[in-house]
Amino acid sequence: MGNYSTGQTWGALRKAWKAYRIAKVQNDNSRMREYATRIRTLQGELGVVKATFPNLGIG
């Protein structure tokens, strides 16, 4: 998990979801894709099921 604690990684995941939702409201596909990729990476590091983003063709 790199140099981050599990708690820090969960915090980063929470922030990434929040940023994704904001980008979605703003209809910003490039930022949505960026955060979706980050979310999936963090979920992989935490060992949890990775979210899918069919609207972006991710997952």
Asked whether residue 54 is domain-assigned, the answer is no
Asked whether residue 27 is domain-assigned, the answer is yes
The structure tokens listed for 1 are 């998990």
Asked whether residue 35 is domain-assigned, the answer is yes
CA 29 to chain centroid, in Å, comes to 14
Domain of residue 38, residue span: 6-46
List residues bridging with 53 in a β-sheet: 58
pLDDT, tens digit, for every residue of 2-29? 678 999 999 999 999 999 999 999 999 9
- In this prediction the pTM is 0.92
pLDDT at 4: 85
C-alpha distances in Å from residue 54, one per residue of 16, 21, 32: 18, 15, 12
The total of structural domains in the chain comes to 1
pLDDT at 2: 60
Determine if residue 7 is left, alpha or beta; phi over 0 gives left, psi from -120 to 50 gives alpha, anything else beta.
alpha
The pLDDT of residue 39 is above 60: yes
pLDDT at 59: 87
